[in-house]
Chain A
Amino acid sequence: MHIPDGYLGPMTYGPLGAAVIPFWAAAARKLNKTLKAKQAPYLALGAAFSFVIMMFNVPIIGGTTGHATGATLVAILIGPWAALISVSVALIIQALLFGDGGITAIGANCINMGVIGVFVGYGVYRLLAGSSPVTSLRRLIASAVAAYLSLSVSALAAGIEFGIQPLLEHSASGQPLYSPFPLSIAVPAMLGEHMLVFSLVEALITALVIRYFQKNNPELLLATDPAGTRLRAKEA
């Protein structure tokens, strides 16, 4: 999912890099109000968690292992705006220090996994979970569906970005200059592999972690939940 340097041309990575800035600015404004001076350590630890979540290999089937990208999980646990900054910081560190994802593609990766991944995941989770009890099966299913859709829509976005390259950037003789696959190949390839494998793994891991919190620390799941805030206000 991390798009490397060289896959997208300047006509794609330029606008996507510009498009992510208003989201970061909105998140910074929002968090400045809610977290104030606390935001640096909170976001940094959130970003470190977003980074290391990909290290946890989970047994799948037949001895194979997989890992989650964690955008939906982080959004459920720390809220969408903090998750957007945390996932973006993790992606920038991966690109700048570890060469995982391109430097020119930072904007595209942050749009796909930070903005789309986080907000689709959080939006679907909130929609499906509603005001159901925090330990309910409905919330568990909501988290799995949200994670599945979040990663699949992120993959669709990446597929479209790859697929428009031959249209936007080619030589006079028709030779593609960046990712050479047209939309009719790039979109089904990206969507297919994610919907059939990676999004299922993402849904499984997200639901398992949510189940862990439901059993051991349900209060944590209410921390960024408007329903939870109302519940605590009522109790007080």
Chain B
Amino acid sequence: MAQSRFLDQTLLTVAKLAEHALFSEFYARKKGLLQSLDLRVKLASFLALIVLVSLLHSLAALWLAYGAALVLARLSRVPLGFFQKRIWLFMPLFSAAVVLPAIFNVVTPGQPLVVLARFAHPHAWGPYTIPAELTITRQGLGGAAVFVSRVAASVAWAVLLTVTSRWSDIFSGLRALRVPRIFVVTMSMTERYLFVFLRLIQDMYRARKSRTIMPLSAAAGRSWVASRVGVTFTKSMEMSEDIYQAMLSRGFHGDFPTVNRYRCTRNDYLWLALSLTGGIGLILLERRFWS
């Protein structure tokens, strides 16, 4: 039933998102190294480390940063198979496909490594030129390898943060790092109601699928989806009014007090010192020996 494929596609997208959330929270509740850290320390150190990874230029340093993320995942009781699957599917593989044309001298001129084709003369179309020799260049291949490695290392650290932290903790951490309260409260409420909406979409699509016995025309399908987007928006506005009234009835007066009490232990200070020294040390090492 190709014409009703959009129903399955949407249900699948919603299910994948829910699965993603479920597994993230599952490992975040385990007792491991990163789960035990103070959330302010953890969030600040991870944001700094992700920036430090973006400053690395050599393959060796990038893969060391990737390896460090694997070690920490293991120490935090995150299975490496699950962790690597989440890293590589989908961004680094997609990036590898995107960057492929950049290995050729058409995009990245430089020292030729392999000559793929020879033409009688170069061809030029406006700003684009195909040289007389089509080659893979050292600069092109090197740039592509660094690019994919950087994406993989960055995604590894970002995934490590999300799978070892409860989402509510990330929001509390942002608040503790002086992110304006209105942003943090909005984010936290968004996360909560996101799942209400996902459930609503799932129910609407399941109901439609269960009543669909004939293929839907594309036009009918589009109109139906547009009406569901409209219904979701209308419900969201009604819900926001209800939530506001509920907040008022519980004594809300425009302030958002937080109940988290933060306390850094010796381990938190040790982690902060080690992680930042390691990150900065890796950059210095790279600049000294690998660039």
Contact = CB atoms under 8 A, between A and B. Distances in A.
A57 B180 contact: no
A58 B221 contact: yes
A22 interface: no
Given A40-B256, A174-B109, A180-B144, A59 B222 contact: yes
A120 interface: no
B3 A59 contact: yes
A45 interface: yes
Contact of B154 (A5, A48, A92): A5
B143 A177 contact: yes
A17 B81 CA distance: 34
Nearest to A40: B185
A65 B233 CA distance: 21
Contacts of A40: 182, 185-186, 189, 256
5 closest A-B pairs (Cβ-Cβ)?
A44-B189, A5-B154, A208-B226, A6-B151, A180-B102
Interface of B: 2-3, 5-6, 9-10, 13-14, 17, 20-21, 24, 47, 50-51, 53-55, 57, 86, 91, 95, 99, 101-102, 107-110, 127-128, 138-140, 142-144, 146-147, 150-151, 153-155, 158-159, 161-162, 167, 170, 180, 182-183, 185-194, 196-198, 201, 216, 218, 221-223, 225-230, 232-234, 236-237, 239-241, 243-244, 247, 252-254, 256, 291
Interface of A: 4-7, 9-10, 13, 24, 28, 36-49, 51-53, 55-61, 63, 65, 73, 77, 85, 89-90, 92-93, 95-99, 102-104, 166, 171, 173-182, 184-185, 204-205, 208-209, 211-213, 216-217, 220
Given A48-B197, A77-B233, 11 more contacts: A7-B95, A48-B193, A52-B197, A57-B10, A90-B190, A98-B20, A102-B158, A180-B107, A209-B229, A212-B226, A212-B227
